[in-house]
Homo-oligomer: A and B are copies of this chain.
Amino acid sequence: MKSIQIAHGSGGQAMQQLINDLFMQAFANPWLAEQEDQARIDLAQLTASGDRLAFSTDSYVIDPLFFPGGDIGKLAVCGTANDVAVSGAIPRFLSCGFILEEGLEMATLEAVVASMAQTAAAANIAIVTGDTKVVPRGAADKLFINTAGIGAIPATVRWGAQQLAAGDVLLVSGTLGDHGAAILNLRERLGLEGDLQSDCAVLTPLIQTLRDIPGVKALRDATRGGVNAVAHEFAAASGCGIELHEARLPIKPAVRGVCELLGLDPLNFANEGKLVIGVRPDAADEVLEQLQRHPLGRDAAIIGEVSERTGVRLAGIYGVKRTLELPHAEPLPRIC
Contacts and interface: CB of A to CB of B under 8 A. Distances in A.
Given A135-B334, A229-B11, A329-B10, A39 B59 contact: no
Interface stretch (A104-112, A217-225, A252-260, A295-303): A217-225
A272 interface: no
A52 B41 contact: yes
Copies per complex?
2
A239 interface: no
A126 to B, nearest CB: 11
Contacts of A161: 36
A96 interface: yes
Contact of A98 (B40, B59, B96): B59
A311 interface: no
Given A38-B84, A135-B61, A333-B136, A95 B327 contact: no
Nearest to A130: B57
Interface residues of A, number: 91
A298 B329 CA distance: 52
A270 B10 CA distance: 10
A129 B58 CA distance: 9
A175 interface: no
A148 interface: yes
A250 interface: no
Given A10-B329, A60-B133, A148-B148, 8 more contacts: A12-B326, A13-B329, A15-B225, A43-B51, A57-B146, A59-B133, A133-B336, A139-B140
Interface of A: 5-7, 9-16, 34-44, 46-47, 50-61, 63, 83-84, 86-87, 89, 93, 95-99, 102, 128-131, 133-136, 138-141, 144, 146, 148, 150, 152-153, 160-161, 220-221, 223-226, 229, 232-233, 236-237, 268, 270, 325-330, 333-334, 336
